[in-house]
């Protein structure tokens, strides 16, 4: 991977940094050694992926990561999320407070490199109570109407994703048929039926999402968790209570709303995971880096080209506006507008 490719991805991967990647000439004076200009524009890092044992602290509103005696300074204002994919690094209470104050999400992975927890600011919005009031006052029929549209968008994206991955038009049409005549609240459970057909056509009838021995499931779980964490961060940022879902209502799930909003985005992860893992036997660090980098793929959304992470912010903002009565609808992401730097235009 070239230094340009590495930095342009917006994902800081410390085991790449230790290999000797240095800043491009022309870095702004006084800037940390990893910050520089690409194409005349200063690139702000969005997601920090930490895969190795390092020392982490905060100083002067910078995240300082120390490995082998070398300090890496990252302005907190340039970070949207940190993914901790090792069990040896320690995080201080002071650091956690700083992450909350800057609205930075933190995802923790276990020894199997699968995300197991997400930490975010608590009610990090000046009008959180007002927004929550709007969420609580809505009737079930209101949410049923939204859920119908969420399911329709998800199934349509699954059909498109399947065609992208297989070039099988008949199969895509079969999946797409489930998006027709969806009932309010999806009372006929079209979502589940479509998902079963989708994965059976893609992976065979023996495929089960609950089977941990199937490699693709590890990739899907990892990628879904990354998207889930980012949506959770965005929801908190817009004052939404993540426990008040559209369809999911579990009292034990802190992220009911997040799980609802992410449904149309799952096929984005499906495409990436399938493309990078379909011929492999093991879940590797390179797989995990590419799945984190889903957030930095480009997508055409609302007639604009933007990163997936920015699209998520826009998407969640629309939902908050809908709940507060400031807009009449939410534009759901269409994966036909997806462009990945590593996979070409999809």
For the packed helices 266-277 and 140-166, what is the interaxial angle rounded to 10 degrees?
A: 20
Is the pLDDT at 9 greater than 50? The verdict is no
Q: Do 302 and 239 share a structural domain?
A: yes
Among candidate residues 275, 233, 286, the one with its CA nearest the CA of residue 113: 286
**Lowest pLDDT segment from 19-33, 77-91, 94-108, 284-298:** 19-33
Spell out the alpha helix ranges (H) of 177-265. Answer: 190-203, 215-237, 256-261
Do 176 and 307 belong to one domain? yes
Domain CATH number, residue 336: 1.20.120.920
State the CATH number of the domain containing residue 42. Answer: 3.100.10.20
The predicted-structure confidence for 98-114, as pLDDT tens digits, reads as follows: 888 888 888 888 887 77
Residue 129: per-residue pLDDT:
76
| Number of domains within the chain | 2
- What is the domain extent for residue 45? 3-119
Question: What's the pLDDT tens digit per position in 131-151?
Answer: 889 999 999 999 999 999 999
250 and 306 both lie in a single domain? yes
> Do residue 114 and residue 168 come from a single domain?
no
pLDDT of 26 over the 60 cut: no
Let me know if 159 is exposed, middle or buried by CB neighbors in 10 A (0-12, 13-18, 19+).
Answer: buried
Integer Cα distance of 264 and 267 in angstroms: 7
């Amino acid at each position: 991977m070239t230094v340009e490719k590495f930095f342009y991805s917006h994902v800081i991967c410390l085991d790449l940094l230790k290999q000797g990647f240095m800043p491009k000439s022309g870095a702004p004076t006084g800037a940390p050694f990893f910050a520089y200009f690409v194409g005349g524009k200063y690139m702000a890092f969005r997601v920090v992926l930490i895969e190795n044992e390092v020392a982490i602290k905060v100083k002067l509103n910078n995240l300082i990561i120390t490995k082998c005696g070398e300090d890496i300074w990252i302005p907190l204002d340039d970070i949207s999320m940190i993914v901790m994919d090792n069990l040896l690094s320690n995080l201080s209470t002071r650091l956690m407070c700083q992450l909350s104050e800057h609205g930075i999400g933190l995802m923790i992975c276990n020894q199997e490199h699968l995300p197991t927890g997400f930490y975010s600011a608590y009610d990090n919005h000046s009008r959180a109570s007002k927004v929550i009031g709007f969420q609580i006052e809505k009737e079930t029929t209101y949410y049923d109407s939204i859920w119908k549209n969420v399911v329709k968008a998800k199934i349509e994206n699954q059909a498109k994703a399947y065609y992208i991955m297989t070039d099988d038009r008949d199969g895509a049409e079969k999946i797409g048929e489930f998006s027709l005549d969806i009932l309010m609240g999806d009372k006929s459970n079209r979502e589940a039926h479509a998902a079963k057909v989708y994965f059976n056509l893609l992976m065979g009838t023996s495929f089960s999402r609950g089977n941990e021995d199937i490699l693709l499931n590890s990739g899907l779980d990892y990628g879904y968790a990354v998207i889930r964490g980012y949506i959770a961060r965005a929801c908190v940022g817009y004052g939404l209570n993540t426990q008040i879902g559209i369809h999911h209502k579990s009292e034990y799930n802190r992220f009911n709303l997040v799980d609802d909003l992410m449904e149309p985005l799952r096929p984005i992860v499906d495409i990436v995971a399938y493309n990078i893992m379909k011929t492999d036997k093991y879940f590797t660090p390179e797989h995990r880096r590419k799945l984190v980098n889903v957030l930095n793929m480009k997508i055409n959304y609302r007639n604009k080209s933007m990163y997936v992470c920015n699209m998520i912010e826009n998407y969640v903002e629309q939902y908050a506006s809908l709940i507060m009565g400031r807009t009449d609808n939410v534009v759901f992401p269409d994966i036909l507008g997806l462009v990945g730097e590593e996979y070409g235009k999809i």
